[in-house]
Amino acid sequence: MERKPGGLMNASKLFEQLRRLYPPDRLLTRPAQLAPYESDGLTAFRARPAGIVLPETQDEVIQTVKLCYQHEIPFMARGSGTSLSGGSVPIQDGLLIGLNRMNRILQYEPKQRIAVVEPGVINLAVSQRATFDNLYYAPDPSSGPVCTLGGNVAFNSGGAHCLKYGMTSNHVLGLKVVLPNGEVCQLGGDSLEMVGPDMTGMFVGSEGLFGVALEITLRLLPKPEVYYTVQAAYDSLAKAGDAVTLVVASGLLPGAMEIMDRLSLDAADAAVGAGYPSDAKAILIVELEGIAEEVEAEKPRLHELIEKSGAYLVEVAKDDEQRLKIWTGRKSAFSAVGRLSPDFIVQDGVVPRTKLGESLVEIDRLSREYDIRVANVFHAGDGNLHPLIMYDGRQSGALERAECLAGEILRHCIRLGGSITGEHGVGLEKRGYMREMFGESDLEFMFELRHAVDPLQLANRGKMLPMAESPVLTTRGAHPLEKQGIISRE
């Protein structure tokens, strides 16, 4: 018979000990205190934790995780809760560890181009700190001004410029983490050249299933010498998608390539006055960046390709102010769609770049079939679609129909050889599609790896993996990965 971890008696004992560790203003248990944490950026999923702790030190996090392990109470750690997959929704009756107060940049070494930060540091704060040394942190999700780096690590966040510079996993050199049993481990280091298994890469994108990051060592890059930002308008969304294929096939590697359709353009204009062309069915934003001589050599080729793609209007940002205006509109698109609809689902399936045009036509067909408006705004350079599926949650069955449409889009991505997620993660939302994307042996391996790190399945239980939880192991000896020499204790 399977033993269920935790219970009311265990929770009572846990909170009794937590009250000794935290002052009353950092241990939240009243309904009014818990309510703001019930959901994340995907508000369709809600759960209420038994309580919330707000640690300010690494030791408090470590002691909290140890207590959860001792009493077999599931826990999850989160920052600003900007996840769009339900990945940072609390565990019902579990413990939520809020990391926003752990927001210190612990070490900044401009000569080595590294920064060591706590998980509650805001993404944009790192670039702001490094700007005086002409450095920056490359991953730039749209929520960069508010999302935390701990969350970026959990979901392997990307952003508009991931085409050229890669995802969070390409910029995290090392991690200090507390595993679900309370042990503290150092993964990776402060160099790109590491020996042995890439345990840092395993942790990044694990959606909290392997524990909590306490320190994150980031790689910083020199700021590009120049930017050259082009905005091309099209009379069809498919033409904009096909333009991306042309640019990529040419061998050019822009810093970013983004597409917005008419609905998202209208929303962004209303929200921030971006000034996009009023008659365009879609726009393509392409940004070259790097050494001045290199960018100058790429300009003619880019314009030739855009002209060939059928753009009817091409504008170049004449200064930093205009460039900022273009990007402000693009990055405000998700929140701006709230002006068009009371509720929406944001998907982030991935398709091969050569299939972008075909995919946009299919999304339009599905939108008409379901009679649901869909705004398209996405990282075109790496084929990462972001259809925003609009619905009114006050209407009976509206959410269910929107989810059905979202599922059809994900299945389309799978059929084309793509992925169900590019950067938002699986969370709660996409668990049901994991079996459609992966074979059973792949999923079994994922679960076995999770089980090796967290035998009691306490860390962010119920997220990502689609299969039922397997029987809980009671062995509390040496950690399985330590036995194999993969991790080491602090």
Q: Which residues pair with 108 in a beta bridge?
A: 115
Q: Are residues 184 and 259 in the same domain?
A: no
Q: What CATH number does residue 442 fall under?
A: 3.30.465.10
438: phi then psi, degrees, rounded to nearest 5: -115, 150
Q: Which of 19-23, 207-211, 338-342 has the lowest mean pLDDT?
A: 338-342
C-alpha dihedral, 301 to 307 to 309 to 315, nearest 10°: 100
Q: Are residues 271 and 285 in the same domain?
A: yes
Give the per-residue pLDDT at 195.
79
pLDDT digits (tens, 9 = 90+) for 146-157: 999 999 999 999
Pairing of strands 51-53, 95-98: parallel
Confidence of residue 270 (pLDDT cuts 50, 70, 90): confident
CA distance 170 to 167: 5
Domain of 57, in residue numbers: 1-223+438-490
Cα distances from 166 to residues 109, 131, 147, 159, 383, in angstroms, run 22, 20, 18, 9, 13
Most confident of 104-108, 251-255, 349-353, 359-363: 104-108
Q: Are residues 258 and 391 in the same domain?
A: no
Q: Are residues 190 and 134 in the same domain?
A: yes
Q: Which residues contact 451 (CB under 8 A, 6 or more apart)?
A: 457, 470, 473
Q: Are residues 252 and 392 in the same domain?
A: no
Q: Are residues 54 and 126 in the same domain?
A: yes
Q: What CATH number does residue 254 fall under?
A: 3.30.70.2190
Give the per-residue pLDDT at 336.
85
Q: Which of 2-16, 120-134, 277-291 has the lowest mean pLDDT?
A: 2-16
> Global pTM?
0.90
Give the per-residue pLDDT at 480.
37
pLDDT digits (tens, 9 = 90+) for 458-481: 999 999 998 654 433 333 344 333
State which of 325, 340, 355 marks the end of a domain.
340
| Percent residues over pLDDT 90 in the chain | 79
* Helix (H) or strand (E) run with residue 173 in it: strand 172-178
Residue 217, helix vs strand vs coil: strand
Q: Are residues 218 and 130 in the same domain?
A: yes
Nearest Cα residue to 56 out of 1, 100, 18, 12: 100
Q: What CATH number does residue 407 fall under?
A: 3.30.70.2740
Give the per-residue pLDDT at 7.
63
Neighbours of 1 (CB within 10 A): 4
Q: Are residues 112 and 3 in the same domain?
A: yes
Neighbours of 250 (CB within 10 A): 14
DSSP 471: P
Structural contact between residues 102 and 55, judged by C-beta atoms closer than 8 angstroms: yes
Q: What is the mean pLDDT of the chain?
A: 91
If you write DSSP's letter for every residue of 336-400 in order, what string do you get? HGGGT-SEEEE---B--GGGHHHHHHHHHHHHHHHT--EEEEEEGGGTB--EEEEE-TTSTTHHH
pLDDT digits (tens, 9 = 90+) for 234-261: 999 989 988 999 999 999 999 999 999 9
Cα distances from 315 to residues 159, 241, 276, 286, 292, in angstroms, run 23, 18, 10, 11, 20
CA–chain centroid gap for 279, Å, is: 32
Give the per-residue pLDDT at 484.
38
pLDDT digits (tens, 9 = 90+) for 38-47: 999 988 899 9
Q: Are residues 251 and 357 in the same domain?
A: no
Structural contact between residues 343 and 278, judged by C-beta atoms closer than 8 angstroms: no
Q: Are residues 350 and 205 in the same domain?
A: no
Count of domains in the chain?
A: 3
Q: Which residues contact 434 (CB under 8 A, 6 or more apart)?
A: 420, 426, 443, 464, 465, 466
State which of 286, 312, 340 marks the end of a domain.
340
State which of 322, 340, 358 marks the end of a domain.
340
Q: Are residues 423 and 460 in the same domain?
A: no
Largest CA distance in the chain: 70
Q: Are residues 401 and 452 in the same domain?
A: no
